[in-house]
A and B are shown apart, each in its own frame.
Chain A
């Protein structure tokens, strides 16, 4: 019985940002993301409350994937951060916090959204120009001839995700491993433009982190019993490979709707099996040594192949298919075999060698390609939760390295870039406001000062979010870097005795510097630009961030904030 219900009218809210509920939600959301930020960030337990999997994380990628938000404004925010994360992997929390800070700060000033948006755009341009310019005082060139800065970059990514529960030795081990993995994906003889290979992360849960390792080639996991059946491998040297992406299980292909009527005595199953066995005979007569199948192979086909000393491995899974076809095909453009019909000899590929390997309690077939840029990173961690977090972290680190190869610069981390940038903007708006406003006649310098102050405060409170244990943040008046100090320190003390190093680790407190609280108002000063090369060389461990990802995050944050500020109506369909 169907029932007709009157349609409810759509709900229309004007000026959504002014509502108390939206503000409260936004501030809770900001609390969640900013409490996750940084190496001492607090973790979040995400679960469905019904005994499902518990995810303990402080990474934006895992956090946002599991969250379900209802309010449209938060949805915009979440979606744009997720987009950013899917493009750059890193700096997701940075983007989210900065965006919230911008919205909150701007609401306190009485200017029309249009003006604010226009000025935000100017300020964003100022930031990106500065960060991309030679004069920038917070970026370091990356020289891939030395492992130092790339290692610092990887280590910074690893230490900023506390839920992977790594000790110092483990961080050292994993960062070296990630760098090695990355190097294995770079082709040896690169001319012109290079195409990076792929690294496959193979889970090995329950083992110690320091048992993790990386191998060139592909690992196919297999139960021990099944492996023993395929042994011993008699062949050595290059192997001829047939790679199937279709099922060889002997299923009937989908017959669609309706019923197929078969007379008694005719067996469709055996008809398909005959076809499979013919295929098997062809493979044998073509002298194929190794048959790989994404899906299931019929046991009779396997029996036939193994009787002729052909190694057959099935149920490889879709994730390994792409790297496998890269590794095994002879010519670029050859696809895995997708039909049971006759196979042209050109569709066979080859691998250099095939070995078995055992790691922890798992057994693997190890496929070693002739040449290639595919490697397998065997990643261990003590339990599921920590492993998942570590995997995500490693993926981020690998991605960040790729981005850095394209644009070989890193930004100073640990809050220093943010405070430095804020000092730079303040200085610029104070001394050369015309250069920012350019020919824009619509905004006054007072308006610029107001918005720039909100912008700088947003950057600074983003840096302050790194502190979770009640410390206070200072900034120096020469470089504009980030310094943390214990709360309630006597104000008349000699700061250089209390402080040790700035957030990124580049400067120590023994230089002749003067400090002031980041919260207090300062006289605008010009932070030192043009980072000298020798300054970078001296200090041992630096905290650095990927330039591309951070720049992307900055853009997304400002643009999303502008978009949200620009909203004047939310119209909801209540049906």
Chain B
């Protein structure tokens, strides 16, 4: 075994280069308008259609160390939050180039690491002011049930464009009196601007933001100024009290990010769950929680998109050959058995070691009439007959021969059922899950399951794989199935992925009871806040820098202030890149450059206003009060806000920066266990051998 070793940051950091080239692929995946990509295997000529970061990385060959780390970071984000991976990928790329720029200017690595993490900390704290609390969202359920439908009809074609970029787009045409007066005020008195910011925060929905900025309140005279300014604010600035979200439909539309059709399904699923929970607990109304683990998808490729719907109960696809059987089972409640493992002859529970050296000898007198498979099948059938069971749900595989036999005796066996579904049926019917059919006794059998076709005319809805959908329902079961259909098989996966990303967005919003103002507002605030920090540290106005170096006593600590503005500026450039790509992707601008100038314009206005967050809140207000008169907005009396989820987003930023900084701090790559044949090729790549 030989070990190879190479230094990866000699002149240009190889790791960072690799990372940014990977991230480059994901440029078009951020924002509501996603361009799909074909990945083609040159050898086998197979191709995959992808439109999400996770699927992209799944299908790429990432054998390099950096590629693996990137994949690991994306997978970790996806497994924990199911959303935010495209943001992660893009920011990795953007911050990679930011870090490279810093290296060109000879900023010491430790300083880049410290200042960048500090800068991101600042951003995460700052964006708290753009949080919108979600209150009593389920109080208005009955009123707004049809709301989404009207929305989807009118808004669908525009929403992708107008909502995500709406904020910035409308800003162009407008010169609002309020923001002007805000600016004037700032020019008059710098101190007041701070206070203005405070009073704004105090008025906004979040109590947290007040706490966050409480250090400003320590000024002895600030309280007075607030009271003086209060009146002014009422007239001048937008009244930020309106930023509250207490309507499920509004929230869902805001979180749909251009994917209204899927979000509508998710919203319906929440409604169904809410009604279920409501019915169950009439007497003790515990607060309702959206339980995403009780939502399932059933994909039926080949059916028109319009067939997608939400069904209470469990929908699954079975082979067309069981059509007659279903017809017969339809009109009566059936008894069911739940099998945890496979339902095959040779299956043994996990962890059972079969002895290989046991041989069974048969009496020579009695000739074997049936094969053992047939004996087993008969014994299973006998149990089913004995307990009068017509439905068997199996978590694993099912023996083909058994299924055939059971169809003849009017019993339905469904394999590959999800564990949560099994659990839900166990709870609702009183069935007990068993591993072997021989374990079944009267206590294990569940009652009262209704089997029907998903659509009344089953043969209309046979999917590409000759399967038909059936619906299993029972009293009190809390499962909800989203039936997803798509005429193009290649897009089925995308459809399902998008449904889940909508579902998880809504789930986290409801779980955290807060959302961000979306459409780039948070990123814009980060950008302008960093801009202000840069200016401040150039002017040396804030002495108490909170940058933390791991090595507190190093010389770096004293020379940190020199490098700080530079590093923060490059960090801000990452946001700038993100925003301009986001806006460019939504197709309003012909070039990223144009989008970038547009952001610069607003950045300037925001920083000049002294308080970027109130500037943003203000601009948001304008859209909602409908002052603007651009082409699109004429047709709509109400443009819904765009929202973003809080923790997953901030975690995605953190993960992206962590990955970049991890690679930045890596100076060498050590490859172990090379065979002698690989050595020659490696030697040319600058490896040393030990």
Chain A residues in the interface with B (C-beta under 8 A): 25, 28-29, 32, 35, 38-40, 42-51, 53-54, 56, 66-71, 74, 159-160, 162-163, 165, 167-168, 205-208, 223-225, 228-229, 247, 249-252, 255, 257-264, 268, 295-296, 298-300, 303, 307, 315, 360-361, 382-386, 414, 466-471, 484-486, 498-505, 541, 543
Contact B353 A262 (CB under 8 A): no
Q: Which chain A residue lies CB-closest to B353?
A: A251
19 A-B pairs with CB atoms under 8 Å apart are: A25-B690, A44-B666, A47-B670, A49-B682, A66-B672, A68-B672, A206-B79, A224-B293, A249-B352, A252-B355, A258-B357, A261-B360, A262-B358, A264-B360, A299-B340, A299-B349, A466-B551, A469-B110, A486-B555
Q: How far is the CA of A262 from the CA of B363 in the complex (A)?
A: 11
Given contacts A69-B3, A167-B117, 5 further A-B contacts (CB under 8 A): A29-B690, A43-B666, A298-B349, A383-B72, A470-B108
Cβ–Cβ < 8 Å partners of A28 in chain B: 5, 688, 690
Which of A42, A225, A262 makes the CB contact (< 8 A) with B359?
A: A262
The 7 closest A-B pairs by CB, nearest first: A296-B351, A299-B435, A42-B667, A469-B108, A39-B550, A206-B80, A168-B548
Contact B550 A484 (CB under 8 A): no
Q: How far is the CA of A295 from the CA of B415 in the complex (A)?
A: 27
Cβ–Cβ < 8 Å partners of B671 in chain A: 47-49
Which of A258, A259, A383, A543 makes the CB contact (< 8 A) with B76?
A: A383
Contact B658 A386 (CB under 8 A): yes
Cβ–Cβ < 8 Å partners of A500 in chain B: 553, 557-558
- Tell me if B73 counts as interface (CB < 8 A to partner A): yes
A-B contact count (CB 8 A): 246
Cβ–Cβ < 8 Å partners of B2 in chain A: 68, 70
Which of A40, A467, A501 makes the CB contact (< 8 A) with B109?
A: A40
Contact A207 B552 (CB under 8 A): no
Given A44-B666, A303-B434, A384-B76, A501 and B359 contact (CB-CB distance below 8 Å):
no
Total count of chain B residues near the partner, CB < 8 A: 86
Centre residue among A51, A258, A268 by max chain B CB count within 10 A = A51
Centre residue among A46, A70, A505 by max chain B CB count within 10 A = A46
Given A28-B688, A225-B419, A315-B351, A68 and B1 contact (CB-CB distance below 8 Å):
yes
Given A165-B662, A255-B357, A259-B359, A54 and B68 contact (CB-CB distance below 8 Å):
yes
Q: How far is the CA of A38 from the CA of B556 in the complex (A)?
A: 14
Cβ–Cβ < 8 Å partners of A498 in chain B: 555, 558
Q: Which chain B residue lies CB-closest to A270?
A: B438
Contact A300 B436 (CB under 8 A): yes
Q: How far is the CA of A263 from the CA of B355 in the complex (A)?
A: 16
Cβ–Cβ < 8 Å partners of B673 in chain A: 48-49, 68
Binary A-proximity of B537-551 (CB < 8 A = 1, otherwise 0): 000000000001111
Cβ–Cβ < 8 Å partners of A205 in chain B: 76
- Tell me if B65 counts as interface (CB < 8 A to partner A): yes
Which of B65, B111, B422, B668 makes the CB contact (< 8 A) with A225?
A: B422
Cβ–Cβ < 8 Å partners of A35 in chain B: 667-668
Cβ–Cβ < 8 Å partners of A225 in chain B: 419-420, 422-423
Interface residues of A: mostly helix, strand, loop or mixed? loop
Which of A44, A295, A303 makes the CB contact (< 8 A) with B667?
A: A44
- Tell me if B439 counts as interface (CB < 8 A to partner A): yes
- Tell me if B661 counts as interface (CB < 8 A to partner A): yes
B316 to A: closest C-beta gap in Å:
18
Q: How far is the CA of A554 from the CA of B668 in the complex (A)?
A: 27
B253 to A: closest C-beta gap in Å:
28
Q: How far is the CA of A160 from the CA of B554 in the complex (A)?
A: 13
- Tell me if B674 counts as interface (CB < 8 A to partner A): yes
- Tell me if B227 counts as interface (CB < 8 A to partner A): no
Cβ–Cβ < 8 Å partners of B363 in chain A: 263-264
Given A51-B63, A259-B359, A385 and B69 contact (CB-CB distance below 8 Å):
yes
Cβ–Cβ < 8 Å partners of B549 in chain A: 39
- Tell me if B305 counts as interface (CB < 8 A to partner A): no
Cβ–Cβ < 8 Å partners of B420 in chain A: 224-225
Which of B350, B355, B357, B439 makes the CB contact (< 8 A) with A300?
A: B439
Q: How far is the CA of A384 from the CA of B79 in the complex (A)?
A: 12
- Tell me if B170 counts as interface (CB < 8 A to partner A): no
Contact B80 A296 (CB under 8 A): no
Contact A50 B63 (CB under 8 A): yes
Q: How far is the CA of A45 from the CA of B19 in the complex (A)?
A: 14
- Tell me if B513 counts as interface (CB < 8 A to partner A): no
Contact B662 A43 (CB under 8 A): yes
Binary A-proximity of B431-465 (CB < 8 A = 1, otherwise 0): 01111100100010000000000000000000000
Given A42-B667, A43-B666, A299 and B556 contact (CB-CB distance below 8 Å):
no
Contact B551 A159 (CB under 8 A): yes
Contact B73 A471 (CB under 8 A): no
Q: Which chain A residue lies CB-closest to B546?
A: A168
A540 to B: closest C-beta gap in Å:
10
B314 to A: closest C-beta gap in Å:
15
Q: Which chain A residue lies CB-closest to B362?
A: A264
Contact A484 B553 (CB under 8 A): yes
Cβ–Cβ < 8 Å partners of A39 in chain B: 549-551
Binary A-proximity of B114-128 (CB < 8 A = 1, otherwise 0): 000100010000000
B547 to A: closest C-beta gap in Å:
9
Given A51-B63, A500-B558, A295 and B690 contact (CB-CB distance below 8 Å):
no
Contact B353 A505 (CB under 8 A): no
Cβ–Cβ < 8 Å partners of B690 in chain A: 25, 28-29, 67, 69-71, 74
A377 to B: closest C-beta gap in Å:
20
Cβ–Cβ < 8 Å partners of A51 in chain B: 62-63, 68
A437 to B: closest C-beta gap in Å:
37
Q: How far is the CA of A74 from the CA of B2 in the complex (A)?
A: 13
Contact B353 A40 (CB under 8 A): no
Q: How far is the CA of A67 from the CA of B349 in the complex (A)?
A: 40
Cβ–Cβ < 8 Å partners of B293 in chain A: 224
Q: How far is the CA of A384 from the CA of B662 in the complex (A)?
A: 13
A175 to B: closest C-beta gap in Å:
13
Contact A207 B357 (CB under 8 A): no
Which residues B212-243 have CB closer than 8 A to chain A? none
Contact B360 A263 (CB under 8 A): yes
Q: Which chain B residue lies CB-closest to A165?
A: B658
Given A229-B423, A258-B357, A45 and B65 contact (CB-CB distance below 8 Å):
yes
Cβ–Cβ < 8 Å partners of A315 in chain B: 351
- Tell me if B669 counts as interface (CB < 8 A to partner A): yes
- Tell me if B194 counts as interface (CB < 8 A to partner A): no
Q: How far is the CA of A144 from the CA of B340 in the complex (A)?
A: 53
B105 to A: closest C-beta gap in Å:
14
Contact B434 A46 (CB under 8 A): no
A500 to B: closest C-beta gap in Å:
5
Contact A296 B662 (CB under 8 A): no
